[in-house]
Amino acid sequence: MRMTFLLPVLLAAASYSAVLRAEQRQTLTLPQALQRTLQHDSTLQGFPYHLRMAEAQQLQAAISPNPELDVSLENVLGTGEQRGVSAAELTLSLSQQIELGQKREHRVELAQRQSQLQRDNYELARLDALAETTLHYVESLTWQQLQQWASAKISRQQALLAMAEQRSKAGNLLDADISRIKLRLIRSQLELADIRQAAANSHYRLAARWHAAPDFAAVTGDLSLLPQIPALPALQQQLQQSAALQRHLSLQRIAESKLRLTRANSQSNVRLSAGIKRNQANNDTGLVFGLSMPLMLTDPYNGERQAQAADLALQTRQQELAVSELSLLVQQQWQALQHLRAEVAAIDTLLLPEARKLQQTSLNSYQQGQLDLLSLLSAEDELAQAEYDLIQSQSRFHLTLLELERLTGQPIILTTTAPVAASEHPYE
């Protein structure tokens, strides 16, 4: 079962790529970031060795007991008639232990299931590594989009400052109003500097996933593209095949195999032997046969068998609890996605258009001398906050989607990805 985190929204070309191309900066795509993580993640590098060790354990479990050669020499180097080797008795026999209770089959079964557990552990580690990389990628994309937001806000403030300075020359504006606009502009410039630093830091956190310094200055993607989410029953069905539940199932099967092996070990093995016996005194040679088995007056595996039974009950209960917990988490994340989609739609189709309308109306009224500066600045703040809220809501949608993919272990792609439509929010 091979799963890959590919948030489809992040694979689209970014709307601001023209600026990046103008600066001739190298960009990073999500598939490139994921591929680098798979190649260089330190945790994943150790799993091939663990898998080889598990395969070696399977070979070891399949080995049967070797036959034994027994040589015994009696009645030698004694006194009287047994002086020297004249009365020696030589016995040469070959014995073989016969394992009863299908011990070998149970050992092989246990080794196979322990090997499957290693593969489950690898799949979980791989999903965690890819999810962590995708999370840092979304963060980088969010900071990148916030840079655009801050730059656009500064451009509007610079245009407002130029307009205010013209009115000030005509004597229609106080110097305090000019200072008020300049203060806002300075704060916005400082905010942009902080955002750029945060974006650079996010690049380092992303590149740290493959143990290298960032060789890119931007990432590609568009947060405004929100993929369609499957219905909740379909997600619950996907959850049953998730790596997390498969690991719990492997642990339960291992406990079952250990219990069966312990029960098999409680059954005594039989040792058969056959050979030749030579009596030197009588010059006779004959065949000898033997059979031996321990008398199981007490069960040496009684305590271990009870411990294995308790472990099996524990693993069964933990699997039941894991199914219930993960099912509830999937439902919670699905509901959160529905809410975030409605929130993004409301901001994009209701709040943001009203904020733009208010800003444009206020600007026109200010230019005509019908509105004071503070009211215009308030309208500017409303627009900037609406744009900021939209970016943050889109980012939270993708991070929540990532967590849902992490739970189910599969990419969430239903049909198409498109910006939210006006009919998708419940506020109209």
User: How is the chain split into domains, by residue range?
Assistant: 8-293+312-424
Residue 389, pLDDT score: 96
CATH classification number, 8-293+312-424, choose in 3.40.640.10, 2.40.128.20, 1.20.1600.10, 3.40.50.720: 1.20.1600.10
For 275-316, how does the pLDDT look when each residue is reduced to its tens digit (9 = 90+)? 888 877 777 888 888 888 888 778 888 888 899 899 999 999
Q: Which of 356, 361, 338 is nearest to 426 (CA)?
A: 338
Residue 81, pLDDT score: 64
Q: Which two tokens stand for residue 105?
A: 């089959």
Residue 12, pLDDT score: 39
- pTM of the shown model: 0.80
Residue 84, pLDDT score: 65
Residue 175, pLDDT score: 75
Residue 75, pLDDT score: 76
pLDDT tens, per residue, the chain with 428 residues: 333 444 444 433 333 343 444 344 589 999 999 999 999 998 888 888 888 998 899 898 888 889 999 988 887 776 666 666 677 788 889 998 888 888 889 999 999 999 999 999 999 999 999 999 999 999 999 999 999 999 999 999 999 988 888 877 766 667 788 888 999 999 999 999 999 999 999 999 999 999 999 999 999 999 999 988 889 998 998 888 888 899 999 999 999 998 998 888 888 888 899 988 887 777 788 888 888 888 877 888 888 889 989 999 999 999 999 999 999 999 999 999 999 999 999 999 999 999 999 999 999 988 887 888 889 999 999 999 999 999 999 999 999 999 999 998 877 654 334 444 433 433 33
Residue 277, pLDDT score: 86
